[in-house]
A and B are shown apart, each in its own frame.
Chain A
Amino acid sequence: GAVVSQHPSWVICKSGTSVKIECRSLDFQATTMFWYRQFPKQSLMLMATSNEGSKATYEQGVEKDKFLINHASLTLSTLTVTSAHPEDSSFYICSASLRSDRGLGGYTFGSGTRLTVV
């Protein structure tokens, strides 16, 4: 089945530094990937849609200059949290879809990245 690999699974960084999170589709090509953020005991919040070869589309309220998304190839999207601050500490999850048929059941999610900014 479709597998999405996310790396690293956890990271601790100092306030003011930048952190890059990678999302790879291992056995399929993904022209579109998605990035979510999830705070403890809350639901997933869609941050942006990453499109291969073009600029990402950010959801309202998400700072595009802070959360840099690069979809360099059909199997790799990266999220860089720039100048991280403690309030950026969260669980970041990516997803991609293999299917093009109806419904929303074709999404495969990465295992997530726990970011802690100290």
Chain B
Amino acid sequence: LAKTTQPISMDSYEGQEVNITCSHNNIATNDYITWYQQFPSQGPRFIIQGYKTKVTNEVASLFIPADRKSSTLSLPRVSLSDTAVYYCLVGDWTGGFKTIFGAGTRLFVKA
């Protein structure tokens, strides 16, 4: 599985847009990029997944450049409840069942 690198932590204020970038230089051709969110004392929750270009859902957007060596999770107008740890995962279900989590990015949203 490709290794990922994310900032350890980020601070933001309510109402701002937050962009969290993940580096995955060794991404394989078949790999997808997936982001999970985890609140304290809870299991992670799926946010968004993409392969290339841009993906948007009701929660976030995911931007993937053409070389796919990095990706950016964009959270529009964050609120206090978005304070959580965000994990970037890279892999392909058909390549194996393991889900290896990196260190993640701890986002703290202030009032």
Say what secondary structure dominates the interface of chain A: strand
A102 touches B92 (CB 8 A): yes
Partner-binding segment picked from A62-70, A81-89, A91-99 = A91-99
* Total contacts A-B at CB 8 Å: 80
B91 touches A103 (CB 8 A): yes
Question: A103-B49, A111-B43 given as contacts; is B99 within 8 A of A95 (CB)?
Answer: yes
Interface residues on B, range: 20 to 34
> Contacts of A93 on B, CB cut-off 8 Å?
43-44
B41 touches A34 (CB 8 A): no
Which B residue sits closest to A49, measured CB to CB? B97
Interface residue count for A (Cβ, 8 Å)? 30
A104 touches B101 (CB 8 A): no
B41 touches A91 (CB 8 A): yes
> Contacts of B101 on A, CB cut-off 8 Å?
36, 43-46
Contact of A46 among B38, B41, B100, B104 (CB under 8 A): B100
Which A residue sits closest to B102, measured CB to CB? A43
A105 touches B97 (CB 8 A): no
> Contacts of A108 on B, CB cut-off 8 Å?
46
B residues at A contact (CB < 8 Å): 30, 32-34, 36, 38, 41-46, 48-49, 51, 87, 89-94, 97-104
